[in-house]
A and B are shown apart, each in its own frame.
Chain A
Amino acid sequence: MLAKYLFIILCLIPGLGIILALIGFVTYIVIMQSIGLNNLFGEDEFTIKFWDKIFARKSYNRSVRYSLYIGTFSTIFSILIAYPIALWLRKPFRGSLFISSILKAPLLVHGLVAAFLFLNVIEYHGLVNQLLQYLNFTDQPIRMRNDRNAFGVLFLQTWKNMPFALLLLAGALQSISDDTLDAARDLGASLYRRFIDIIIPLTISAMTAAAIIIFIGAFADFTFQKIAGPRNTFSLSQLMVEYRGRGKWNEAATVGVTLIVLSFFGAVLVAFIINKLFKYPGWLSPVKMKNIKSIITRQK
């Protein structure tokens, strides 16, 4: 029995072993450096002063909130847009393969390229401004780049991640048989109820997987933020690179640990919320609209 397990472990080592080792080393180093150990320069000394310093900085707290904002809304928008498209493409029709391919094209475009393309569209003399002026909506071009609310980053994140959500959701939706949906319809379920009671619960695994991956990617965004994000706020990745650039490796490590921890707990929270809200049909769900309403009323 032991030999069998040993054999399996040996087989996994070349692939999974390397991945785990690399993740493990990086996580170990970043955690140690955040508490003053394994320093690249100077003496090692256990301390929590870097954490104290970073928690006291407004820029850090702003970055945490900003990255959570980008991660959460990019996830929501990507999935909200991907669902109806996946439903529309569920049954093949003439041209559906072409449409599907076009929609998935952003997966093949590098984030940096996408960001520069986007800038060309929203720049001071970009296509959108030219169109707005042509239609006489404005006399002067409007500044849309690096907007305070990071709508540009959200747009880019959604544009980049929606095809990924679409890929997962389309596969899950296609695995639902017509008979299952017809049975629900036959039993009196309207279009909305079929979506809530059958389609969402049966695609919840795909939705959760898409949400977790999109959340982690968008939460740790660097490229879109650097090019199209607001100038007065850094994302956590940007902050980490900023500290590293100034030679503050230990502060950079604390931000790195923050990214790892919040990515993990954020992903767990995303999965938890999705499962709580959508795993069961409306009438079985432990979270009911009337409960939510009563909580909101109580808070008011």
Chain B
Amino acid sequence: MSILKVKNLFKSYGKIEVLKNFSLDIDSTEFVSLLGPSGCGKTTVLKIISGFISPDKGTVFIEDIDVSNTPPEKRNTAMCFQSYALFPHLTVEDNIKFGLYEKKIPKNKSKDLFEEAIEHLSLSQELGKYPNELSGGQQQRVALGRALVTRPKIILFDEPLSNLDAILRGTVRNEIKRIQSEFKLTAIYVTHDQSEALSISDRVLLMKEGEINQIDTPEKIYDNPISYFSASFVGISNIHHFKNPKKLENNFIEVDTNVGKLKLFYKNNLTDKNIYVSWRPEKAEVGEQRENTLFGRIKSIAFQGAFTELEVAIKNIKIKIITQKRGFKINEEIKFGIKPENLLVLEQS
């Protein structure tokens, strides 16, 4: 059941259009990430949902109630800020209890809610401490506890891990996911970090210049990017401009690219927008291959433990290959192939 409906949002700051006809439906208990580069409008969407920003046009429905003109303090949403925004003059306990008091939740109920929150977040040892006495991870947990203790309908995360170091980021990310599923929360998570979005979400909404570029499950976003932008922003892709597409039998087509002729499987009709073909570096099969066989010279080798990253030059065009094979040498000529079904046709945008 859809808990949040955002319809046809438009928002401009002066002459800059931040959101252009943005619409979104989110189901109850779903975890959706808004992924995109800085300035693409993802935080604006979050702030419109929470009520801190009013859209120029468009409506926001929470549980089928139009909350477009409802102030943030009266919306049943809770936000986890990038800066945590903990109240420095209050202890951990009072920070978490803040919402319970402000929303005038009865004492008996608020006691249960508070105890449940601190138990799930393992904060019982920190209750008497002030925010400046906590580590980044602990502060994030307090911010999370403060947001979820009042049981909001939707919890909104605004790049909550960006102030943490790489190791802590992974731990807190898993914790957010665990808490979200334990409390059965509906979550919207803003990030520009693709690995965060892919690992934590039920669905990823990829944004570009105020518009939705692609919305799908993390697997589909990665395996089937529809545009040049999604293929290049999510993961690593080798992308080639193509021309002279020729229809072959059984939905195969052959195209001319800067690395040579490539045969690919494509069921749909090509349009004027379909001008790129892409493939993921791990789809290259180094060694024997009958179709789409390419020859290149290794320019760099980066051994990563479980796999090796190769940078290979074909006619001065550099491409990336990820393989589990080892024993390569710089300037060695290698042969590799890509199965036609692993080659994807992309739209220009």
Contact = CB atoms under 8 A, between A and B. Distances in A.
Chain A bound to chain B: yes
B99 A180 contact: no
A184 B94 CA distance: 12
A185 B47 CA distance: 12
B98 interface: yes
A184 to B, nearest CB: 7
A177 B98 contact: no
Contacts of B71: 185
B305 to A, nearest CB: 39
Interface stretch (B9-17, B61-69, B83-91, B239-247): B83-91
- Interface residue tally of chain A, by bracket? 20 to 34
A201 B179 CA distance: 31
A180 B83 CA distance: 9
A31 B299 CA distance: 88
A274 to B, nearest CB: 14
B79 A188 contact: no
A149 B150 CA distance: 52
Contacts of A198: 87
B288 interface: no
Contacts of A284: 90, 94
Contacts, number: 69
A189 interface: yes
B52 interface: yes
B276 to A, nearest CB: 40
B87 A180 contact: yes
Given A182-B85, A183-B85, A184-B87, A189 B94 contact: no
Contacts of B229: none
Interface pairs A-B: 9 shortest CB-CB: A187-B99, A179-B85, A188-B102, A183-B85, A188-B103, A283-B101, A201-B89, A189-B102, A179-B81
Interface of B: 50, 52, 71-74, 77-79, 81-83, 85-90, 94, 98-99, 101-103, 146-147, 150
17 contacts: A180-B85, A180-B87, A183-B81, A183-B87, A186-B77, A186-B147, A187-B73, A187-B98, A189-B73, A189-B98, A190-B73, A197-B102, A202-B88, A280-B89, A281-B94, A281-B98, A283-B101
